[in-house]
Amino acid sequence: MSLIHPTAVIEDGAILGKDVSVGPFAYIGSQVSIGDNTTVASHAVIEGKTTIGKNNRIFSHSAVGTIPQDLKFNGEDVELIIGDNNTIREFTLLNPGTKGGGSVTKIGNGNLLMGYVHLGHDVILGDGCILANGATLAGHVELGNHVVIGGLTPIHQFVHIGDFAMIGGASALAQDIPPYCLAEGNRANLRGLNLTGLRRSMEREDINALKVAYRELFEQGNPLQEVAQKLFDTTESEKVKKLCEFIKTSKRGIPFNRTKNEDK
């Protein structure tokens, strides 16, 4: 029994792995490669130089690999790479890279992209992330692993978000969010650690070290970069080192409520 519906359009040159299912009226372009056991639902569009791994589920009316929403784009050779075991829900829009941003948009493994999610050009998405309905990532945004983005949240171009961070729903994020942290609001500020996510994934000792580091970094009113460097040099916790390294290398800055001490 064929897994390709007779009304689906699959251009010559497209590569489909074993047991790939393509639903009614779906379109797959000539430069597309789809891995084993992936399902493409009805009316989905997959085009451009797009490589999709194994065991992905692409729901109806998704637009995957369509040209970037960048006025500078002039038909350059760009691509979209998607890993394994991702769920891409209805009406998602995933654009490839641009020449000015490395030419590649890359999505890792095991991510859930809910309805109406948009990943702009040159976005880098790690593994195990959850983007709720209507989350919108502008060009060049980079997410680490196990990041959660609440629904209806736009993220400004070039923002970086670290591992295990969480952004509350209906926020508007314009600056970098360090790993392990929770942020929300318009404009979004840090509100503490993402303790729910951390308790699911790491030891109590690591969480306690991060709690101490967070207080020193963001609640004592001392210069952020100086504190980050001091903690990096003295801590034995690899998690704290990762937090401090992110802060030291941030290009857009960290959004948090600074005390009067630090403003002097």
The residues carrying an active-site annotation are 121-122, 139
Six token digits for residue 101: 């941003």
* Phi (first) and psi of residue 189, to 5 degrees: -125, 160
